[in-house]
Amino acid sequence: RLTAKRLFSTSHSSVDSAEMKKFQLLAHKWWDEEGEFSALHSMNDIRVPFIRDTLLNMSSNYHLGSPLSGVKILDVGCGGGLLSEPLGRLGASVTGIDPLEDNIRTADQHKSFDPVLAKRIQYKSSSLEEIVEESMETFDVIVASEVVEHVADLEMFIKCCSQVLKPEGSLFITTINKTQLSYVLGIVVAEKIMGIVPEGTHEWEKFVPPEELEHLLKSYGFSVQTVNGMLYNPLSGSWSWMESTSVNYALHAVKAGAQGHSSPTGALSELESEQPSATAGT
């Protein structure tokens, strides 16, 4: 089995060991809402509604009391479970994976006090590649929030996402653009000046411009539906949507359907077949 894993993954995995070391030191601080991860806690105020409303718009059969009931979600790079828990509370069955064992331990402990969440969320210490084999086309939704700017091999990451996602499943990514502005705001101000994010968390070189991400997604059979800019206000500690994607942005893409069609809403994809598909989707 070990051999198969090595053959399957290419020369390097998507997990960057230097990145892991950075997060190791913060593994116990996830759930302090006013601490190092406060910006991630408040990001829930826009990323959870974004995911929820996008999925509700695509579905015709849901209950507002448990809007994500029946949806299987993979939270890649779940950390301490900051995003997994709200998604679980909305009714989804969530699998949270993170390469760092300490993060998983924190996440497991935090969910353990709530019997409903404890049943709905499963955490696993693992990289994305390691679960591909047993999870082919298993998930309705993949969420990779504030993750792709930390991975070693982005192309492999996207490929694995495509493999574990069901046809017509949704992929949600939030990450940071690679621009002068994102260097100034995302690194200089956020890390060095205001301490919004612990210093050294991000490397500008690994930031991902949305164009590059979109191109990569298309080449692996995804159709990008939405790209929205996000802005953090350090004074109020809150996030909001903005036109420009120069700093932070959120992206929603849909995997091509079983026959190679993709959902009709939003942007056209080069992989779309000649006849426009009449599949479900709004």
Partner 1 sequence: TSAFMAAVCCRGLVAPLGGWFWAGPRAPFRSVGAAAPLYDVVVSGGGMVGSAMAAVLGHDIHFHDKKIALLEAGPRKEYDRVPDSYSNRVSSISPGSATLLSSFGAWDHVCRLRLKPFRRMQVWDACSEAMIVFEKDDLDDMGYIVENDVIMSALTKQLDAVADRVEIFYGSRAVGYTWPLPSHSCVTSPWVQIELADGRRLQTKLLIGADGHNSVVRKEAEIKNIEHQYDQSAVVATLHLSEATDNNVAWQRFLPTGPIALLPLSDTASSLVWSTCHEHASELLAMDEESFVDSINSAFWSNINHSDFIDTAGAMFRSALSLLKPSGSAVRQLPPSIAKVDPESRAMFPLGMGHAAEYVQHRVALIGDAAHRVHPLAGQGVNLGFGDIACLAHHLSAAAFNGSDLGSLKHLLKFETERQRHNVSLIAAIDVLKRLYSTRLTPLVLLRTWGLQATNALPPLKVRISVY
220 three-class SS = coil
Residues 135-154 that bind partner 1 (CB under 8 A): none
- Whole-number minimum distance, CB 139 to partner 1, in Å? 18
Residue type, 168: E
Token reading at 43 = 């990001």
How many residues touch partner 1 under the rule CB under 8 A: the total is: 29
Q: Which residue, 192, 82, 194, 72, is CA-closest to 147?
A: 82
Q: What is the C-alpha to C-alpha distance for residues 107 and 121, in angstroms, rounded to an integer?
A: 10
- Of 115, 134, 235, 278, the residue at the interface with partner 1 (CB under 8 A) is 115
Closer to partner 1 by Cβ: residue 12 or 29: 29
Q: Is 73 in the site for partner 1 (CB under 8 A)?
A: no
Closer to partner 1 by Cβ: residue 96 or 210: 96
Closer to partner 1 by Cβ: residue 50 or 222: 50
- With tokens 């909001």, the residue in question is 240
Judged by CB under 8 A, the stretch of 32-40, 140-148, 156-164, 269-277 that binds partner 1 is: 32-40
Residues 253-282 that bind partner 1 (CB under 8 A): none
Q: Is 212 in the site for partner 1 (CB under 8 A)?
A: no
- Number of neighbours of residue 66 by Cβ within 10 angstroms: 12
Q: What is the C-alpha to C-alpha distance for residues 168 and 165, in angstroms, rounded to an integer?
A: 8
Classify residue 191 by burial, with Cβ atoms within 10 Å: 0-12, 13-18, 19+.
Answer: middle
Q: Is 67 in the site for partner 1 (CB under 8 A)?
A: yes
- Whole-number minimum distance, CB 52 to partner 1, in Å? 8
Helix 210-219 to helix 154-164 angle, to the nearest 10 degrees? 50
Interacting residues toward partner 1 by CB under 8 A: 29-33, 35, 42, 44-45, 48-49, 52, 63-67, 85-91, 109-110, 113-115
